[in-house]
Structure formats: C-alpha cells, structure tokens
C-alpha cells in the first residue's frame, strides 16, 4: 500500500514521514492527479445549472489529496532533499504544470465560472464568497482561458519549461552552496573569531573527517566569519565564493537558466496580453503596476541614499583609522560595521548571544503569541517528522480547542537549502461543518549546539525567528471557509505584514524579559543591554535599506525589460543596480544567478513587497505602541482582521478594519530614523 494514498492514521492526521519512501511519490502524484481530474470532470458535467456552490466552491475544494501530497513532497525538496528527490521533482513538476494548465484552459469549466460571475448579483454572497468568485474568474482569464487553441498549447509548453528551469536553478544553487568550504588548519588564521564560532567550525570539520576548522556558505557559518574575522584576505575569499555562486561558467552556472526563465516569463505575459511579466503579476497586488512599484522604490532610494553614503563614508574613515584601508570593499562592510557598532554602542552579538538561547527564544515567541492571541504551545513527541532535529507542538486556543500543529526545523544540514521560510503540510478550511486545522512549519538555519554550548542566536537570528513565526501565526490562526483563501493565500505585498510586524517585539523590554535569559546564570538580560539594542536599532539603517532596494530594483529590471535584447547577465545586472551600489562593483560577483527568491521562489516582480510591507508593519506597530504592545484589544483586532482572514477580502479593506485608517507612508521613515534626512514633516 502507498501511505500517501491512505488516510493518515496518526495523531491529528499528521504526515507519517517514516512510512513514506521516495518510490511512493510518482505513483501517488499520478493517482492524485487522476482523482483531481475526475473531481473537475464531475463538476463540469453536472447537469444542474452552475451556481456558486456547485461550481466555484466545488472547484476550490477539489484536489485536496493532490495538494496534500504536493505540500509533503516540496517540503522535503527544500528541507531534506537528495539526488533521488531532485530527480522526482524534475519528473513531477511538469506533471503538475500540465495539470494546472488542464484546469485553467478547460473551456467548459471556464464557461461555468463565467456564468456564475456574470450572474453574481443574483446570489446573496458574503465578502469571502465574492472574493473567491472574483479571484477564480480572474485566474482563468489571466491564465489563458480566452486564448486560441494554438496559443493555449504554447502556454502549456512555456509553463512546462518554466517549471523545469526553476527546479534546475534551485538545484544548482544548493549544489554550489554545498560544494565550497574554507578549510583552515593554522590557528592564527582564526584571528578575531569568537570562541563559539571556532568551536562550530571545528565540529563541521570533524563531521567532514578533517583536521582543523571548516567554514561553509551556510548562513550560520559565513555570516559570523564575515562579521568577526580580522583576516581580510580570507574574508575576501569566502565573500567572493558566495558572491560568485553559479556565475563561474561551470556545470552549475545559472546564467543561461536566468535568461531562459525571464524570456519564458516575458513570452507568457505577452501571450496573455500584458506588456511584461511585472505588469501581469502586479495587476493582482496592492501595488497594482510596475510604475507604482518603481516610484515607491525610487522614492525610498531618494530618501535613504544620501544618508547611506554618509554611513559608508563614516565606515571608510573608521576602517582607514583602524587598519589603513583606503577603499572599503563589500567583504569589509559587515566586519567594520560590527567593529564601529561595538565602539559607538559598546554592543556586539557576542555580548548578546548568551541571552538568546534558541530554546528560550522559541518559548519567547510562544509567550508573545499567548499574550497577544491567547495561544498555548505544548511540545509533543508523538508526531512523525522529516528529520530528528524537528520539534513538534500542539497549538491550542484559550478555550482548549486545537488551533494547529506546529513544526520547528531550526538547523542547517547538507540536504536543506539556505535561508528561512514558513510553509504548511495541511491547509485550514471549513467543509461540512468541520474546521480542518492547519499543520504549519517554520524552517530556519541557526547554529547547531556544540559539545559545550547550546544553540545561541545572534540578535539578527532572533528577529529572523520572530519573522518566520509571524508567518506561522498567519497560518495557525487562519479561519476561512475556502482553502484557496486561507492563511498566507494573500497578495505578495501583504503577506509580509504578519511576519515583519512581529519583529518589532524583539526590541521591546516588555517582550525581551519574557525570554532573554543568560544560558549559564539564568540572569535576565540587563536593562542597559536592552537600551543599547534600541539605541542601535537604526544604526546603518539607510545602508540596509539601500541594500534591500538593490534587490527590489534588480527584480523589477529583470521583469519589466524585453529580455530578447539581453546578452549578458553580468552586464545587465551591473546597469540595473548602478544607482544602488555603495561599494565598488566586483565583476566576479553576481546576485541574479543565485537569487532564489525570484528565480525559484514566488517573489518574481514581488521582492519590493518586503519594503512595501514594512510601511504597513511600521504603521501597525505604532498602533500597538500607542496602546501597549500586549494590549489584548489591539491583538484581537489584528487576529480578527488580518491573521484569521487570509485573502478573504482585499488587503487594504482588512487593514483599514484593523487600523481604522489607511497606513501612514511616513511610519517606516520615522522608525528608520530617516524622516529628518528626507525633509518631511
């Protein structure tokens, strides 16, 4: 029997990972696609006239088994992959793409949807039903329902190629990340590195059966090395290794894949009647158009770049005074930023890390959720996981009812891609009077415990954990009727609000005192350190903002340009990012060839959304700050109108219901300390 095709006889219907073998996936996908097709056929062939319930709702509820299998498989492909999993992904992705096209290009199905849409005023639809109907209708139109048969076939071919190229892009990035290591055997080359970083590198070397110390391109390894190593030549080496990933002209080079992806996206957009991929994507976002996004990004650049250049000048003068550095390079930035921060604020991550033991920070996030939303998290050991490192929790409402199952996967390993993300194994929805509760995952890459120390986080990692937990709460507290509108199924430039707003609690004394205890003494983090965290929160903020704008503008450049004229990935990127360069350009480096957010993930024409959502989150947190960061009434408003509603209404309407007004665009500049520099009132 194939466990993927059986009812999961497990606690809360959780995934039985230990029973699932690689050979189960292809047959399971094949069967699930067949079942989903049959469900759609029954819907299309229904002799009854089309209604909202028998057409729109029925379509949204269809494919439940296929969705479940897909979530399990693609979680493994990101967090626990292998050559076998990657081979399956290469076979499965075109199957899924073809199935999606079979749905979106089904003329008879579209006719039923269109009939309901054209007669929508005859039905007494609530806000969520109206949104689902409109979303479905637009999705069909935006995915080729009105195309000729020949153009539909072209679209199928484009989508198949896009699926294959995006997979290959991600596989190459992971392989290039895993291939590099900086192996040191001379202790003098570890100068400047904290004891914990050295110990972690020794443990990595031991795992690789090597003497000495090994540093990799995994974030918990490269970031502290770049931050603390006083060996400039080694900082340069590992920085260039990271920056030139998939840009070396070898078998893992992604340049042609990048060009192919943007060409296919442009062709697809043009086929559907749009000027560019960005025009296609942004039509259904809060920002609405590339022109509005570019105006937003350029406005932030105008207001932040002068201050960023001042910050870099100050940093360069400091590096010259300290080490006679004439020209600050990209591999110097993090190092001297940390040095100057220590001097200006008497604060560094090594002083903070003892207060941020991973287990304590996790519990702190849970306590914040408890105070805001009444949630209770209980760790349990009877739920199967995809790796022994993964922790599992029952999440319950204040009334004791199950809210969700939560998985925490916090440490790097060879089969796991870099970064941090939230995903789900089970979507929330209400059907036949039953509220199916979600199974939510947070996946991060934090330093593993060593023989002498638990996992201790940098402050940046603390905010990362809270960020991803904010996404998790969006899933955990989901409470919509239809799966297609549940949880994080919202506009891309709205989805970062729940995650980014939660980061603010990391800077507040009232929240830090819940979880920031010294791992050895149990001492609560001193008030003076909390004050230094707040004082330093806007340090180099303009530089950080310009860096984010650099990514957003590069994304928009790739997806608003006719790619048929692009001959060189390197030249195109250099020109696209010219206005956001703060350090000398290095032609060995390339962002695009490892820019997984836009070439493998779902952020193409959407990277700007991080800054867009920062405006929302800064404005939202001002509301909390003015009324108390644990004010239960404000928490209830945020839960009721943002976290539980998913995509059931337009995000601006939801935001106004929470806040009582539209967001103040100056809130972000106020928080960043850039309002004065921007000469705004």
CATH code for the domain in which residue 638 is found: 1.10.1370.40
CA dihedral 258, 261, 266, 272 (to 10 degrees): -170
Nearest CA among 234, 80, 239, 242 for reference residue 176: 242
Nearest CA among 3, 80, 1, 65 for reference residue 29: 65
Contact 614, 548 (CB under 8 A): no
**Looking at the domain assignment, is residue 121 inside a domain?**
yes
Please report how the helices 83-104 and 149-179 are oriented relative to each other, as an axis angle in degrees rounded to 10.
160
pLDDT at residue 566, rounded to an integer? 96
**Looking at the domain assignment, is residue 226 inside a domain?**
yes
Number of CB atoms found within 10 A of residue 318's CB: 18
pLDDT band, residue 680 (cuts 50/70/90): very low
Q: Which domain holds residue 49?
A: 3-104+106-146
Number of CB atoms found within 10 A of residue 28's CB: 23
How far apart, in Å, are the Cα atoms of 531 and each of 504, 525, 536, 537? 14, 11, 8, 10
Nearest CA among 411, 399, 368 for reference residue 621: 368
> Is the pLDDT reported for residue 186 higher than 70?
yes
Helix (H) or strand (E) holding 672: helix 667-672
pLDDT band, residue 241 (cuts 50/70/90): very high
407 and 503 inside one domain: yes
Contact 272, 142 (CB under 8 A): yes
Residues in contact with 5: Cβ distance below 8 Å, sequence separation at least 6, in sequence order: 27, 28, 31, 32, 65
427 and 528 inside one domain: yes
Q: Where are the beta strands (DSSP E) in 88-247?
A: 182-184, 213-215
DSSP state of 456: B
Rounded Cα–Cα distance for residues 369 and 377 (Å): 9
632 and 600 inside one domain: no
**Looking at the domain assignment, is residue 140 inside a domain?**
yes
Write down which residue in 607, 630, 648 finishes a domain: 607
Write down which residue in 194, 211, 243 finishes a domain: 243
pLDDT in tens, 300-320: 999 999 999 999 999 999 999
Which pair of tokens denotes residue 507? Answer: 């800077």
**Looking at the domain assignment, is residue 157 inside a domain?**
no
> Is the pLDDT reported for residue 143 higher than 80?
yes
Rounded Cα–Cα distance for residues 547 and 577 (Å): 10
Q: Region 543-563: what's the mean pLDDT?
A: 97
> The CATH number of the domain where 40 resides is what?
1.20.1050.40
381 and 508 inside one domain: yes
Write down which residue in 591, 607, 623 finishes a domain: 607
Question: In this structure, are strands 391-396 and 429-431 parallel, antiparallel, or unpaired?
Answer: unpaired
Which SS3 state, helix, strand or coil, does residue 406 take? strand
> The CATH number of the domain where 582 resides is what?
1.10.1370.10
**Looking at the domain assignment, is residue 313 inside a domain?**
yes
CB crowding 232-252: b at 16 or more within 10 Å, else e:
eebbeebbebbbbbbbbeeeb
16 and 130 inside one domain: yes
Number of CB atoms found within 10 A of residue 480's CB: 23
pLDDT at residue 624, rounded to an integer? 97
> Is the pLDDT reported for residue 681 higher than 60?
no
CB crowding 630-667: b at 16 or more within 10 Å, else e:
bbeebbebbbebbbbbbbbbbbeebbeebbeeebeebb
End-to-end, the C-alpha distance of the chain in Å comes to: 68
418 and 472 inside one domain: yes
184 and 43 inside one domain: no
Number of domains in the chain: 4
Rounded Cα–Cα distance for residues 151 and 630 (Å): 54
233 and 279 inside one domain: no
pLDDT band, residue 676 (cuts 50/70/90): low
530 and 437 inside one domain: yes
pLDDT band, residue 678 (cuts 50/70/90): very low
φ/ψ of 60, rounded to 5, equals -65, -35
Catalytic residue list: 468
**Looking at the domain assignment, is residue 152 inside a domain?**
no
pTM of this structure: 0.91
Rounded Cα–Cα distance for residues 396 and 676 (Å): 45
292 and 201 inside one domain: no
pLDDT in tens, 600-637: 988 999 999 999 999 999 999 999 999 999 999 999 99
279 and 394 inside one domain: no
DSSP state of 642: I
Rounded Cα–Cα distance for residues 54 and 48 (Å): 8
Counting residues of the chain whose pLDDT is more than 90, the rounded percentage is 95
502 and 615 inside one domain: yes
Rounded Cα–Cα distance for residues 54 and 16 (Å): 33
pLDDT band, residue 674 (cuts 50/70/90): confident
**Looking at the domain assignment, is residue 161 inside a domain?**
no
**Looking at the domain assignment, is residue 589 inside a domain?**
yes
């Amino acid at each position: 029997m194939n466990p993927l095709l059986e009812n999961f006889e497990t606690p809360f219907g959780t995934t039985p990972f230990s029973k699932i073998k690689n050979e189960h996936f292809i047959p399971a996908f094949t069967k699930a696609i067949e079942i989903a097709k049959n469900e759609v056929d029954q819907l299309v062939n229904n002799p009854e006239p089309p209604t909202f319930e028998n057409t729109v709702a029925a379509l949204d509820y269809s494919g439940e088994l296929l969705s479940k299998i897909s979530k399990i498989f693609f979680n493994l492909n990101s967090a626990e992959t292998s050559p076998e999993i990657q081979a399956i992904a290469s076979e499965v992705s075109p199957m899924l793409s073809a199935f999606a096209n079979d749905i979106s290009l089904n003329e008879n199905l579209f006719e039923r949807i269109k009939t309901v849409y054209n007669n929508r005023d005859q039905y007494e639809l609530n806000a969520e039903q109206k949104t689902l109907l409109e979303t479905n209708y637009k999705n069909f139109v935006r995915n080729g329902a009105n195309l000729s048969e020949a153009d539909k076939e072209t679209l199928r071919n484009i989508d198949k190629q896009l699926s294959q190229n995006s997979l290959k892009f991600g596989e190459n990035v992971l392989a290039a990340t895993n291939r590099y290591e900086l192996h040191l055997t001379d202790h003098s080359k570890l100068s400047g590195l904290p004891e914990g970083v050295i110990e972690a590198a020794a443990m990595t070397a031991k795992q690789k059966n090597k003497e000495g110390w090994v540093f990799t391109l995994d974030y918990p390894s490269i970031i502290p090395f770049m931050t603390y190593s006083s060996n400039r030549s080694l900082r340069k080496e590992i920085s260039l290794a990271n920056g030139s990933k998939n840009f070396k002209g070898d078998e893992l080079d992604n340049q042609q894949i990048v060009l192919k992806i943007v060409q296919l996206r442009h062709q697809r957009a043009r086929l559907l009647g749009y000027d560019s991929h960005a025009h296609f994507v942004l039509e259904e976002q809060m920002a609405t158009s590339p022109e509005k996004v570019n105006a937003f990004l350029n406005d932030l650049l105008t207001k932040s770049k002068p201050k960023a250049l001042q910050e870099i000048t100050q940093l360069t003068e400091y590096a010259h005074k300290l080490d006679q550095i004439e020209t600050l390079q990209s591999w110097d930035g993090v190092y001297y930023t940390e040095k100057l921060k220590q001097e200006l604020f008497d604060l560094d991550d090594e002083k903070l890390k003892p207060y941020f033991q991973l287990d304590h920070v996790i519990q702190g996030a849970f306590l914040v959720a408890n105070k805001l939303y009444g949630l209770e998290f209980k760790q349990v050991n009877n739920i199967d996981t995809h790796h022994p490192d993964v922790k599992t929790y029952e999440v319950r409402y204040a009334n004791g009812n199950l809210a969700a199952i939560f998985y925490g996967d916090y440490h790097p390993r060879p089969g796991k891609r870099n970064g941090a993300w939230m995903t789900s194994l089970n979507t929330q929805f209400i059907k036949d009077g039953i509220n199916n509760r979600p199974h939510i995952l947070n996946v991060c890459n934090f330093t593993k415990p060593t023989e002498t120390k638990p996992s201790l986080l940098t402050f940046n990692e603390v905010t990362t954990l809270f960020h991803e937990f904010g996404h998790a709460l969006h899933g955990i507290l989901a409470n919509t009727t239809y799966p297609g509108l549940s949880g994080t199924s919202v506009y891309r430039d709205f989805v970062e609000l729940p995650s980014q707003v939660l980061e603010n609690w990391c800077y507040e004394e009232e929240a830090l005192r819940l979880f920031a205890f010294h791992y050895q003494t149990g001492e609560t983090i001193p008030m003076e350190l909390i004050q230094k965290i707040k004082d330093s929160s806007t340090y180099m903020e303009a530089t950080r903002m310009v860096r984010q704008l650099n990514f957003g503008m590069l994304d928009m450049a790739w997806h608003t340009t006719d790619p048929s004229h692009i001959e060189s990935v390197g030249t195109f990127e250099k020109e696209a990012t010219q206005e956001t360069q703060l350090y000398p350009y290095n032609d060995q480096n390339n962002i695009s060839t490892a820019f997984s957010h836009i070439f493998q993930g779902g952020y193409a024409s959407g990277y700007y959304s991080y800054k867009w959502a920062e405006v929302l989150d800064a404005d939202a947190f001002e509301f909390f700050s003015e009324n108390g960061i644990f004010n239960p009434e404000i928490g209830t408003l945020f839960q009721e109108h943002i976290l539980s509603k998913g995509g059931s209404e337009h995000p601006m309407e939801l935001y106004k219901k929470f806040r009582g007004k539209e967001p103040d665009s100056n809130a972000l500049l106020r928080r960043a300390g850039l309002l004065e520099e921007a000469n705004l009132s």
